[in-house]
Every structure is written in C-alpha cells, then in structure tokens.
Amino acid sequence: MKITIKKIAELANVSRGTVDRVLHDRPNVTPETKEKVLRIIQELEYTPNLAAKALSSNTKCITISVVLAPDFNPFVAEIKKGVADAYEELRHFGLTLEVEVISTLNAEEQVKLLSRLEKKGVDGIAIVPIDSELVRDCINRLIRKGIKIVTFNSDIFNTERLCFVGQDNEKAGRVAFSLLENIVPAGSQIAVIISSLKLKCHQSRLTGFMAMLGKSGACIQTVSIDENQDKDELSYDIVKSYCKLYPQLKGIYITGGGVSGLGRALSEVGKARKIKVVSHDLVDPVISLMKEGIINFSIGQNPYVQGSLPVKILFNYIFKNEKPDREIYNTGVDIKTYEAL
C-alpha cells in the first residue's frame, strides 16, 4: 500500500497544499491542522517518493563540490572512483557534482577555493581540510551561511562540519601491533617511526599501538619512538641509528611517509627483509617496497568509501533532510600484502 501526499490529504480532510506546508514546515497552518496532519503522516509512516521529488524539483538541482588535494596519489584514483559511483547513483535525483582539485596543500589556496564555491552557491562541500586557523574560520563561515560540509580522510576540529569520514586510527595502530607481533619472534625488539607527534591521526595510531603493548601477553617490546616528519632523509638517519643501537631489532612500524628512506637504510645495512616492516597506505613507494619484500604489510584505509560516502551523506542531508546518524564514519582498516593488492 502506497502512501502519497494526496492520500494523507484525504485522510486529514485537508488539501494537498496543506500537507505540503506541514511537510516542509512552512508557515500559515493552524496548530491543530498541523498536528492532525503530522499524526497521520507518522501513523502511516509516510516517506516521500524520491523519484517524484527529484522529478518535480529538477530545475533547481543540488550542487555538491568535492575538494581534494592530488598529492597522495594512487589513493586519489580510488577516491575519485567512489565519488563518481556515488554521483552516478544520485544524479538521477537531481544532483550536480563538481570535483575541484587543488594542487597544493596550501591553506590560503584552499580558503580561496572555498570562497569561490561560496559565491557560486553550492549546497554542500566534501573536503579534505588543511588543519589551519584560516581554513577553520572559512569553513565555519560557510556553514553559518547554510552550506553543508563533510570532511573526509583528515578531520578539522572546532568546526560545525556535519561529520567526518575516515580511518579509525587507533584501531589501525592496534592492527599494526598485531601484525608485527605475528611476524617477529616472541620477545623481539621493535621501533616506531611516527610522522609527527603533533598530528592527531598519527598520535592515534601510536595510542592504539601502545595500548596493545600494555595488554597481558604482549610478546614484543618497543625500544624507540621517533618522528620523521614524513621525510625520507630523516627516516634514513633514524633507521641507520636504530640498526647501530639495537642490533637485535626485529621490526619497525612506520605510521606515515618517508618509507623510501627507510627502505634504503635497511638495504644498506643488510637488514632488508630481516627487520620486518609495517607501514600505512598504498602509495607508490610502499607498493614497490612491498613487492621487494622490504615492507611486509601496509594498512590501507579504503579511499573508495572516503570518496563515495561524503557525497551520499551530503545528498541525504540536503535532499532528503536525513541527518547523518553519527559524527564519525570509520572507513576500513585494510590489511594488505603485496599479493592482496
């Protein structure tokens, strides 16, 4: 049995127009009428027919922009695929989509782009925000203007963004630990190279990793934690010094970039494939090193979903008025070996 506006109107002894006004919370309806209609709507569990909705309001399409930096590369392809699929699914409902790619990780440029989108009058934005005051203020301004914003891949705090779609970094850290624990002998010494202790996502990875260490039965020991700022040169130096300081070192967990430097150092000191390595993401240097067997596992974060879900969330909110049911949507913690790519 199909519930339509017309049917509700009949049951409530009012016209279609009145039901429409109630549904859209428009003025000029007496409280009693409104309540009566609302009750019937709830009783019959009315849900609007999206096809009809799209058809009738297709003159004024929804516009959603996806903003992403093209730097983290093999990633971006998957993100774009996710965005494209979501669009294909939703365009029939009157969604217009624009993908804006900024070529730098520059906060000013991102703000400039956001301001342009604001002027253009987009309804929603999915963005990988750069964590800076400039961007934060800009995002909050757009949100106050009624533009809906979802962050993905990397979050930005103190904003009223709808929600965030990205990895559960603590879980990723726990998984990294369990992988290392599996591939090194019991009691082994392992070390951690973290991008920056200041960055939330890397902090979380470390937190998750260390939490596992604290558990009973943990059979490896962490001997050192160093920052490499995602830099190959720093990784290189750090790994070289590790090999000197800890000749018994059996594993390294590297939370971010700079894997090439690590690979070079390990090869030079003849420890490649002897010291086991767990890294993150499936960027090109990681894939190469996995192929060579120098990196044993890398933890992926499902860029496809990071592309598709924000678009869907924005659409559901703007078009269907369905609020996202949580503030953080975690994409997978995907364990990858070279063969599993």
Partner DNA sequence: ACAATTTATGTGTTCGTGCACAATAATAGG
Partner DNA sequence: CCTATTATTGTGCACGAACACATAAATTGT
CB of 56 to a second copy, least distance (A): 9
Cα 296 from Cα 290, distance rounded (Å): 6
Nearer to DNA by C-beta: 9 or 266?
9
Cα 5 from Cα 84, distance rounded (Å): 33
Cα 73 from Cα 85, distance rounded (Å): 19
CB of 26 to DNA, least distance (A): 8
> Would you tell me which residues interact with a second copy (CB under 8 A)?
49-52, 54-55, 58, 89, 92-94, 171, 174-175, 177-179, 182-183, 185, 212, 217, 276, 293, 296-297, 333-340
Map the footprint of DNA across residues 44-103, applying CB under 7 A: 46, 48-49, 52-53, 55-60
* Contact partner, 13, from DNA, a second copy, none, Cβ < 5-8 Å per class: DNA
* Contact partner, 17, from DNA, a second copy, none, Cβ < 5-8 Å per class: DNA
Cα 17 from Cα 223, distance rounded (Å): 71
CA distances from 84 to 54, 58, 79, 96, 125 (A): 19, 20, 9, 11, 15
Interacting residue with DNA among 13, 158, 182, 221 (CB under 7 A): 13
Cα 129 from Cα 111, distance rounded (Å): 10
Nearer to a second copy by C-beta: 196 or 288?
288
What does the block give as tokens for 34? Answer: 């409104």
* Contact partner, 334, from a second copy, DNA, none, Cβ < 5-8 Å per class: a second copy
CB of 69 to a second copy, least distance (A): 27
- DSSP annotation of 168 reads -
The answer to whether 158 contacts DNA (rule: CB under 7 A) is: no
- The 8 Å CB, 24+ separation contacts for 48-53 are 48/5, 48/23, 48/320, 49/4, 50/93, 50/320, 51/93, 53/93, 53/319
Applying CB under 7 A, which residues contact DNA? 2-6, 13-18, 20-21, 23-24, 27-30, 33, 46, 48-49, 52-53, 55-60
